[in-house]
Copies of this chain bind each other. A is one copy, B any other.
Amino acid sequence: MKHLSFLAAIACALIFGACCNQNKQCPMQNDNATNQVMNTIMTRHSVRAYTSQEVSADTIETLLRAAMAAPTGMDVRPWRFVVLTDKTNFDTIFGADNMNLEKYKQAAVVFVLCADTTWSHPQLTNGEVRPNGNWTSDMGACAENLLLAAHAYGLGAVWTACYPYANRMDPVRAGLGLPDQVVPFCIIPVGYPAEQTEPKDKWNPENIHYNRW
């Protein structure tokens, strides 16, 4: 009898395990998904030290897919990406006095998030190339998607600003050969964490007003 109960328990475990791995069929999928997403948003934080473990090409592509799933004003999709795994010219690209240079050299991969600052649309701009007034906001959402995806994969990352600082943008533009209308927005080094750091608690109810300031 003990033996049979044990078998029944094993069978049940297998069934539940399989069920929970297939999101759509898992009975607690909704609450579970909500919790997992909120947990990822609330625990994402800057990681500035990385192990030597490589990040696979598949994972790099997944992070880029997350970045390109961000919302953009008038669906302009201004994002462009330069993915750096060859560190040979990092001193030139980022400047030898860049405070973040050691992080970039240590990371398995460095994402340079760029934006095309112009746009054109058959109707909305009459086919003319015009400046895009929303690109910094759009790129903020794009960067956050990449950071959240990295955190969900157990990777560490940190958003380091490039725009609007000329002393950071100029060597990156030259070193990567960016076209004139493309601005380097931020630099995100990504790797497996080599430090244990905690998220900040930024909750502050004084930031909230109801129905009027």
Contact = CB atoms under 8 A, between A and B. Distances in A.
Interface of A: 1, 4-6, 8-9, 11-13, 16-17, 20-21, 23, 26-28, 30-42, 44, 46, 62, 64-66, 68-71, 73, 75, 77, 79-86, 133-134, 136-145, 147-149, 152-154, 159, 161, 163-164, 176-179, 182, 185-186, 199-200, 202-204, 207-213
Contacts of A211: 82-86
A166 to B, nearest CB: 11
B41 A69 contact: yes
A71 B161 CA distance: 11
30 contacts: A8-B8, A8-B12, A12-B12, A16-B16, A17-B28, A20-B20, A20-B26, A20-B28, A32-B32, A33-B36, A33-B152, A36-B37, A38-B66, A38-B149, A41-B66, A68-B202, A68-B204, A71-B159, A77-B202, A80-B208, A80-B209, A81-B209, A82-B209, A85-B211, A136-B140, A137-B139, A144-B144, A148-B148, A176-B209, A177-B213
Nearest to A2: B4
Contacts of A133: 164
Contact of A17 (B27, B38, B82): B27
Given A38-B149, A80-B209, A140-B141, 14 more contacts: A12-B13, A20-B26, A21-B31, A33-B36, A34-B153, A34-B154, A65-B203, A68-B204, A81-B208, A83-B211, A134-B164, A136-B140, A176-B212, A178-B213
A73 B213 contact: no
Query: Counting chain B CB atoms within 10 Å of each CB, which of A5, A46, A71 scores highest?
Result: A71
Contacts of A153: 34
Contact of A152 (B38, B44, B163): B38
A16 B26 CA distance: 11
Given A37-B36, A141-B140, A80 B207 contact: yes
Given A9-B12, A138-B140, A37 B85 contact: no
A31 to B, nearest CB: 7
